[in-house]
Amino acid sequence: MSIAIAVGLLTAAAVYMIMQRGMVRIILGFVLASHAANLMLFAAGNVAYRDVPYIGSADPSTQADPLPQAFVLTAIVIAFAITMFMLTLAITTTTDDDTENDEDSPAKLHSPDTTDAALHGMDTASGEIAVESERDETGINGSGTTTSGRTV
């Protein structure tokens, strides 16, 4: 009974963690789900005491079933490999999981008429193209005029 409760709690926690946004939380949810599956496979092999599962060492009716034990060992290895693969993917990705999507943020929403003008460097009041050059330490650009428009 206690193994069934543990499997249920681990599965519930795994589903909760997998439904989260962050990649690390998803990986932790996967680890919890693999532990729940391992406990379920182990419980399928009857956890009561039995003799060793070797052929010819005891009466076959009292021997433990080796198949669930082999399944659990295989599941542990596979879960570890997949966890390491998911951690590698989480480390190598460059996106931040815990921030909002910049395209959907209200600060990025603007009217279409100012968007085209801003993209092409046009002054919206006069309709002229604004050419900006970089200022050096003296405040003079490459054409001999200051950034305020005065000739030097």
Give the pair of three-digit tokens for residue 122: 């046009």
With a CB cutoff of 8 Å and minimum separation 6, the contacts of 87 are 27
> For residues 35 and 28, what is the distance between their CA atoms, to the nearest angstrom?
11
The separation between CA 107 and the C-alpha centre of its own chain, rounded to angstroms, equals 26
pLDDT tens digits for 27-60?
999 999 999 999 988 888 765 666 666 666 667 6
Counting every residue written for the chain, the total comes to: 152
User: Hey, how many other C-beta atoms are within 10 angstroms of the C-beta on 38?
Assistant: 18
- Residue 131: C-alpha distances to residues 16, 58, 123, 134 (Å): 54, 92, 10, 10
pLDDT tens digits for 64-105?
777 888 888 999 999 999 999 999 998 898 666 555 555 655
User: What 3-state DSSP class applies to 38?
Assistant: helix
Specify the pTM. 0.54
